[in-house]
Structure 1
Amino acid sequence: MTRWRRPAWWSVLLTVAAAALFVRLGLWQLDRAAYKDSLVRRYAAAAVASPIPFGKVAATPPADAFPRVAVRGSWLTDRVYLLDNPHHDARGGVEVYVPLALPGDSRLLLVDLGFLPTAREQAPALPSLPAGEVDLHGLYLPPPGVGLELGGDALAGQAHWPKTTIYLDLGQVAKDLGRPLYPRVLALDANPAARYQREHPFDFSSMPPSRHRAYAFQWFSFAVAVVVIFLVLHRKRRPRRTDIR
């Protein structure tokens, strides 16, 4: 029959607290994995949906959806922004953004043309954009996150176009243009004939859903290990038998 030593109150409290913390961290990782899975599913569904008029979602886009929209406007071809952040370092290139002026609207719509591969330390050769009004289709997406921005507004200190930044902040872009922007950007539909490449807007290369699940398993394992260690430390050892001759 297994016998146990009476544990101190602080050891019970410490064990319960540690196990609860590890379980909570594991559940959080599972929640993050589910969230990223849902992003992928919603994006895939939106990419093949029929476009809706931009005006229906322009000012108040749905928080949990990425509508595919149709919009008409004119390019501000002399106001180009190049996003050159660490996400592009492995391939070499920039994400190209150009404002679109809508008829009779003071607000501008920032359009993501796509990723333009460029050799390192070379200025990108930007394809020309048509003059006059154009009809565009694409996904109305949240702007890329700015992360931890250091050094302040990089756009204000540049006098020539195109302007380059490692973060894309719509507030800074609006200030730079002197006109308000819509709260999201238009990511154009992929065009096989264009030099621009359309990539998945959610970069999971560093933390895909599968890695979140692996971390969840790790945290749950720590919770089990804490309980096992507690039981082992408080199990009474049977006295050794000694032979008497």
Structure 2
Amino acid sequence: MSLLRRPRWWAVLLTVAGVLLFLRLGEWQLHRADEKEALLRRYAAAAQQPVREFAAVAATPPADAFPRVHLRGEYLPGREYLLDNPKHDQRGGVEVYAPFRPQGKDELLLVDLGFLPGNGTDQAPQLPPLPNGAVELSGFYQPPPGVGFEMGGDALAQQQAWPKTTIYLDLGQVAQDLRATVYPRVLALETEPASIYVREHTPDFSAMPPARHRAYAFQWFTFAVVAVVMFLFLHRKRKAKQGDLR
């Protein structure tokens, strides 16, 4: 004897669709947690790797690593880019990028000089001068910060004065702005105690750490279980009362 009433087709369809959706969202949250943990492991491993020559990885960097590199060349003076609203935004300030021409190359490399804290006003912080002439750099050859949702078109092309400010960093737009070919990654300089810049290049997942993704996954899986339980509860057979047996 069945304990359930025969459900309507649309009730079955809605329940199945809801359960599948909740399961898919839960799996996506678990996938994002795994991605972020793998990224943090790659950053941690990069700091332990030996320094390589930039030319060996410049055009075709490894997809799953952020190599430490060394190179020599010259900065392009007066062409800095200020990334507003970076990961240090709670302290005010900007992440500063400067184009750099490696020795013997025509392509330009965008160098992440680091985070420059705010000065307590709405004005951009005063940038220290870049070194003149040939210099040697070492750092991590890593992907640029994510572009995110672009609003208002190419902000760099709309500005005439330097340094130029942007809320996202698109290397394609930087290349158009500089009228030059730009390498596919940026060089994040290693920490220097004497530098005015704050250099913290590990991804900041404080707003959504891997553990929070897993917590959200648990919630979605719980919704899937609740949907099944509600379906069974609403379609259970009720015992007939004595007054109904006439």
TM-based fold match above 0.5: yes
Q: Which residue of 2 aligns with 1:99?
A: 99
- Corresponding letter in the other structure for 2:175: A
Deviations 1:140-198 (A, max 9, x none): 11111221111222222222221111121111111111211100000001112211111
Secondary structure, aligned partner of 2:128? coil
Deviations 1:40-89 (A, max 9, x none): 01111102211111111100111121111111111112211111126454
The 10-residue stretch of structure 1 (191-200 or 220-229) with the greater mean CA deviation from structure 2: 191-200
Answer yes or no: is 1:34 the counterpart of 2:22: no
The 10-residue stretch of structure 1 (31-40 or 82-91) with the greater mean CA deviation from structure 2: 82-91
Question: Is the contact between residue 156 and residue 173 of structure 2 (CA under 8 Å) also seen in structure 1?
Answer: yes
Q: Which residue of 2 aligns with 1:235?
A: 236
Secondary structure, aligned partner of 1:83? strand
- Corresponding letter in the other structure for 1:116: L
Aligned-partner Cα distance in 1 for 2:86–2:68: 28
Aligned-partner Cα distance in 2 for 1:79–1:29: 40
Structure 1: runs of 5 or more not aligned: none
Secondary structure, aligned partner of 1:98? strand
Aligned-partner Cα distance in 2 for 1:86–1:140: 19
How many aligned residue pairs are there? 242
Question: Is the contact between residue 144 and residue 185 of structure 2 (CA under 8 Å) also seen in structure 1?
Answer: yes
The 10-residue stretch of structure 1 (71-80 or 4-13) with the greater mean CA deviation from structure 2: 4-13
Aligned-partner Cα distance in 2 for 1:92–1:232: 54
Q: 1:9 to 1:160 in 2, by over 3 A?
A: closer
Q: Which residue of 1 aligns with 2:146?
A: 145
Q: Which residue of 2 aligns with 1:115?
A: 115
Q: Which residue of 2 aligns with 1:75?
A: 75
Aligned-partner Cα distance in 2 for 1:15–1:157: 51
Q: Which residue of 2 aligns with 1:184?
A: 185
Answer yes or no: is 1:166 the counterpart of 2:167: yes
Aligned-partner Cα distance in 2 for 1:166–1:78: 19
Q: Which residue of 2 aligns with 1:21?
A: 21
Aligned-partner Cα distance in 2 for 1:96–1:201: 16
Once the 2 structures are TM-superposed, how far is the Cα of residue 241 of structure 1 from its aligned partner? 6.0
Secondary structure, aligned partner of 1:90? helix
Aligned-partner Cα distance in 1 for 2:240–2:78: 87
- Corresponding letter in the other structure for 1:175: Q
- Give TM-score, length-normalised by structure 2: 0.92
Question: Is the contact between residue 188 and residue 201 of structure 2 (CA under 8 Å) also seen in structure 1?
Answer: no
- Corresponding letter in the other structure for 1:178: R
Aligned-partner Cα distance in 1 for 2:169–2:195: 23
Aligned-partner Cα distance in 1 for 2:82–2:129: 15
Q: Which residue of 2 aligns with 1:221?
A: 222
Q: Which residue of 2 aligns with 1:3?
A: 3
Aligned-partner Cα distance in 1 for 2:78–2:172: 19
Secondary structure, aligned partner of 2:15? helix
Aligned-partner Cα distance in 1 for 2:8–2:2: 19
Aligned-partner Cα distance in 2 for 1:155–1:20: 44
Structure 2: runs of 5 or more not aligned: none
Secondary structure, aligned partner of 1:31? helix
Secondary structure, aligned partner of 2:182? coil
Secondary structure, aligned partner of 1:24? helix
Secondary structure, aligned partner of 1:183? strand
Percent sequence identity is 66
Question: Is the contact between residue 139 and residue 187 of structure 2 (CA under 8 Å) also seen in structure 1?
Answer: yes
Aligned-partner Cα distance in 1 for 2:3–2:154: 67
Once the 2 structures are TM-superposed, how far is the Cα of residue 38 of structure 1 from its aligned partner? 0.4
